[in-house]
Amino acid sequence: MKRTFSYLLLSFTALIFSASLISSCTDDPVPLPKGIISVKFDNVVGSKDLKFNSETYVNAAGEEFTVSALNYYISNIKFIAAGGNNYTVPQDSSYFLIREGNVDSQEITINNVPARNYTGIEFVIGIDSLRSVSDISKRKGILDKDSGPTNQEAMYWDWNPGYIFLKLEGSSDSATSSNSKFYYHIGGFGGLTTKTLNNIRVAKIDFGDQRAAVSENAAAQINLKADILKVFNGPTKVSIKENGSVMFIPFSKNIADNYATMFSLGQIINK
């Protein structure tokens, strides 16, 4: 009787130990392999490619214009996947300045992306409030206002401390300035100690039937189009004659709302 009881106890203990091992293996998720996603920004004006100073475009107000400068910040990137398995790029690695005058800046590379099929992308157009007010030691690299691209492109207001989220400049006979120039310098992160203009915007692009397939042995390239015509032809129709110079004024909100709609998916290439 004792031998039978001992055998049963031993068997029961072994069963519990085995279950514990199985449970342990199940509860510890296996790390996913990592891959690469590159995001390429193609700046266009309607159906035309954007070309500085040579191509003439027409906005919804019927005004002809040329473009001489275009820069905008992309930050806080998130890749969307089915079932909520999204991947948010670490914030310190998630700030980029896209410049039409610099081809290399128009393609960004994100490393160490968990392997899965992504169905969309989300990002901030501009620089988030927290980073905008962070100590200068946390705003190096592309965010360094005293050197590098941000300084070269004059994408920071010293007179009203903060980043210019989007800069669009050009010429138009409709402009009322003496040199026929128009200027849209849009910024404003909501203010540090008092509430001010907040022109931070988020763009969300669904990939539809396409997928960005990331694996250890395959990278995905997401081609996005940025239609600058939407700066004029978005929810608010912007006339160069009526609004030829817009910076830190209430009307800048309308332009920010407009450029939030300017991004769309071109093509995804899985390599």
Domain ranges of the chain: 1-30, 34-270
pLDDT score, position 257: 98
pLDDT per residue over 75-108, tens digit each?
999 999 988 899 999 999 999 999 999 999 999 9
CA neighbor of 95 nearest in space, from 151, 150, 157: 150
201 to each of 61, 64, 73, 135, 223, how far by Cα in Å?
24, 27, 11, 23, 20
- What is the value of pTM for the model shown? 0.88
CA neighbor of 44 nearest in space, from 223, 247, 204, 257: 223
Q: Looking at the predicted structure, is the pLDDT value of residue 10 above 50?
A: no
pLDDT score, position 169: 98
Beta bridge partners of 88: 78
User: How many Å apart are CA 146 and CA 156, to the nearest integer?
Assistant: 9
- CA 257 to chain centroid: 15
Mean confidence (pLDDT) of the chain: 90
* Percent of the chain with pLDDT strictly greater than 90: 85
The torsion of the CA quartet 96, 97, 101, 102, rounded to 10 degrees, works out to -30
User: How many Å apart are CA 193 and CA 197, to the nearest integer?
Assistant: 12
pLDDT score, position 64: 98
Do 33 and 216 form a contact (C-beta atoms < 8 A)? yes
